[in-house]
Amino acid sequence: MERRRITALTVLLVLAGVLYSAWVAEFFLDTGLDPAHSFLSELDAADQPYRHFFSTADLVTGVLLIVAGAAGLTLPRRRLTNVGWSALVVFGAATIADSQLPIECVAGNDPSCPVEPSGLFPQLHHIHALTSTVAVFAVFTAMVAFTVAAFRYRILALLRTVGLVVLIVTSLATAWLMIADNLPGSYGLGIAQRLQVTGMSLYLLTLGFAVRARLRSADT
Residue 186, phi then psi, degrees to nearest 5: -95, -30
- Flag whether 43 is in a domain: yes
pLDDT score for 218: 46
pLDDT score for 123: 44
Average pLDDT, the chain: 87
Give me the helices (H) in 101-188, please.
127-152, 162-180
Name which of 173, 142, 149, 168 is nearest 68 in CA terms: 142
Q: Which residue has the higher pLDDT, 146 or 102?
A: 146
DSSP 159: G
Chain segment 180-207, per-residue pLDDT in tens: 777 776 688 899 999 999 999 999 999 9
Cα(1)–Cα(35) distance, integer angstroms: 45
Number of domains in the chain: 1
Asked if pLDDT for residue 86 goes beyond 50, the answer is yes
Chain segment 15-69, per-residue pLDDT in tens: 999 999 999 999 999 988 889 888 898 898 878 889 999 999 999 999 999 999 9
- Give the three-state DSSP class for 212: helix
How much is the pTM? 0.89
Look up the domain containing 134 and give its range: 2-23+38-107+117-219
